[in-house]
Structure formats: structure tokens, C-alpha cells
Amino acid sequence: MKKITLTLMTLAILGCSDKKKETEPASEAKTSVASNLDDAKWLLGKWQDVSEEGTLTETWTPESDSSYAATSFFITGKDTAFAETVRLSHRDGNLIYIVTTKSQNDEKPVEFALTSVSDKQLVFENPKHDYPTKITYENYGDSMKAWISGKKLGVENKEEFPMKKVK
């Protein structure tokens, strides 16, 4: 479980740089897949992974007819080691995953366009972002796995975050 803490801390440090090209709209970054918000309805609720290293929590709620909002954080002891907000927005016929991470990228949002969708999986990509370039969510009913992937320091990398639904 030390890997999760290291992974989250690495993501917090390397996740979003100050490069302007990374904040371009995802719709310009890659061709998108037509979709609607109902394709992501299974995300709604509170998801969690509790380990000896800490607790990872991701909570999704409806924000409007065209968007969901999420908070994601990792707590070790009494400290928040990592925190971000996410907005999943329906725009121009596609879902856009918009993530803002505290203390990264001047707290400007980074967008990822939906590139693949099924009843069990959502894949968002932004090839212009440094790391990650891909964010994937996979639905297992009462549990899910999220992972980020792409090249980190020139080497392909994938970090997984399994979670169980708690609400």
C-alpha cells in the first residue's frame, strides 16, 4: 500500500505542469466520441479504498442536467496528501473530464475528452498533457477501478486505483 501513497504523491508533484498546451480544450486535443451524461451515471456515489497507508475517497454528485462533479482526495493520518476536483461535462455532443488539482498547473483545469465508452468503461484522453494522457474508469457494480496512464519521464506508466462503493 506504500505504492498508493507514493503514486498519489508522485501524481501530485508531476500530474499537471504549467505548460499552456495542456489546458487546451480536450475537444481540440483529440477526436471525441459522441456520448451523453447517462453513460457515466454509474459513477454517481461515494467510492473508497481504505488501506494501512490511508484512505482514498472519490465522491460523484449530479451538478446540473449537463454535468457531474466529483471530489477526490487521499488522507494519511490527519493529513490530506492529495486532493482534486473533477467536473464531467456534456459539451458539443461529448463528455469532457475536467480536472483541477490543488497546487498544480496554477490551479487551472485540464481537460480530457471521452474517447471510448461502454456500459462498463469510460476512457478520457488528452495526448497534449504531460502525465497522465489517459484516464480510465471501469465499472464492476459495487466496485470500480480507475487508472491513469501515459509516459512519465519517457517511460510508459500505469497507476491503478481500485475502489468500493460505500454510498
Q: Name residues of the chain where pLDDT drops below 70.
A: 1-32, 34
Reference 47, options 123, 144, 152, 129; nearest CA is 144
| Amino acid 125: pLDDT | 98
- Position 7 scores a pLDDT of 39
| DSSP per-residue codes, 12-67 | HHHS--S-GGGGS-HHHHS------GGGGGGG-EEEEEEETTEEEEEEEEEEETTE
Question: pTM of the full predicted structure?
Answer: 0.82
User: What's the confidence (pLDDT) of residue 140?
Assistant: 97
Q: Which domains does the chain have, with CATH numbers?
A: 2-165 (2.40.128.20)
The reported pLDDT for the residue numbered 15 is 43
d(CA 30, CA 19): 17
Query: Is residue 28 left, alpha or beta, with left meaning phi > 0 and alpha meaning psi from -120 to 50?
Result: alpha
Q: What is the reported pLDDT for 32?
A: 56
